Amino acid sequence: MFGELAKKLNNKQVLLETLAPLHYEELRTACAEDREIWDIYPNSMLGDHFDKAIADLAAAPDRVVFAVIELSPNNAEQKVVGMTSYINPDEQGVVEIGGTYISPGVRGSNFNLTMKRLLIEHAFNCGYRRIEFRVDVRNKRSQRAVLKLGAKQDGILRKNKVTWTGHIRDTAVFSIFEDEWQATHGAG
């Protein structure tokens, strides 16, 4: 199932390509642009934590990890500004989009929507029927962003994950179906 999801995706603003060693140093720099956010992420991508986190992502059998690359208006420049993943695609047609980080410089614009549009529409085109998002309940910004996509909150998994800080988090689970996506965003 990963083969169909692990495709380079792009439009005029965003390029998503499989995370590879050539992206690591730029990603390390992008992750360091928001030091506080990592306290509410499951894993840290700062300092000494970065190399282990990258190794864990590379070895993860349950995900396709993308480098998130911002394209300049004329495509003359490309800059790694984050990462995102497809997680746990299954035979029932469910896939999660998560493990997403984008640097502060592209937040507050339509960049996240543009990136998620690529991921969501590609997953639906690959035959997935349900897309999930799982967010730490403390991460209000990410919850708002998921709701702006048209996803609905399914519930909260109480105390289901221990983060790198030792915090036992509650996870808000959201989902969206193709008809809901089309009703909110129309054909892409």
Full-model pTM: 0.92
Q: How far apart are CA 124 and CA 98, in angstroms?
A: 16
pLDDT of residue 2: 57
Query: Which tens digits make up the pLDDT trace of 33-45?
Result: 999 999 999 999 9
> Which residue ranges make up each domain of the chain?
2-185
Please say whether the dihedral angle defined by the alpha carbons of residues 145, 41, 8 and 121, taken in this order, is positive or negative: negative
CATH no., domain 2-185: 3.40.630.30
Query: Which tens digits make up the pLDDT trace of 136-172?
Result: 999 998 999 999 999 999 999 999 999 999 999 999 9
Q: What is the mean pLDDT of residues 95-106?
A: 94
Q: How far apart are CA 45 and CA 54, in angstroms?
A: 8
